[in-house]
Amino acid sequence: MDISEINELYYITHVDNLRLISQFGILSHNSVKRIPHKDLSSEVVQDRRDNKKLPDTNYNLHHFANLYFDARNPMLYFLTCHNKIEDICILSLSKEVLLIPDSVITDRNAASDWACFKPSPEGLQVIDREITFAKNWNLDNEFLKMEYKSKKCAELLIPVAVNKKYIQKIYVANNSAEQKAMNVCNAIPIIVNNELFFNKG
């Protein structure tokens, strides 16, 4: 892939965190853990990320804020199945985040044993565009299904924090979620996009 093919990147979070994000930007797991916030993530997943170090560094995945190339991915689907849809929002970030120094691109879920880590933006070359942006990953072939699920969660890892200046808009699933987001943060445009949330709104 080339940077010209990217329109935006995405960060998935609880709507109540918008107030914190509007002040401090998107913080890494390590940076935010001492600040009161709502965590949507699975403890099992976070334990795996805590134990995964990037090649040739002493930094684990929790040192980085993680953005997705495609928000409509298995992680979002999992979250929509285990949380109220009104509690979930997706931040759209300018592709300029790809130019933030020391950022890293992964070709799939960064916690995967098979993840490839490359500097950004040159690392875009490892992204499989067809799979990462595929609408469906429920394939009959179980091996391919796992490959799609992992690669659809390709990530951009940004050290410590993402400045709030890169945030362009906020996606929510329905009008109720829109109102909830506006009550927390009305300084950023809020867009209702039911399809992005698997039409669960």
- DSSP string covering 33-79, please? TTS-----S-HHHHHHHHTPBPTTSS-BGGGEEEEES-SSSHHHHHH
Q: Is 178 a catalytic residue?
A: no
Take residue 137 and report the two structure tokens written for it.
Answer: 């990953």
From residue 53, give the alpha-carbon distance in Å to each of 45, 139, 155: 14, 31, 15
Take residue 166 and report the two structure tokens written for it.
Answer: 């890169």
Q: Is 155 a catalytic residue?
A: yes
| DSSP SS3 for 1 | coil
Among 8, 86, 155, 178, which one carries the catalytic annotation? 155
Nearest-CA neighbor of 69 among 99, 102, 40, 92? 92
Among 8, 49, 108, 178, which one carries the catalytic annotation? 49
Let me know: does 86 contact 16? Beta carbons within 8 Å: no
Catalytic residues: 49, 155
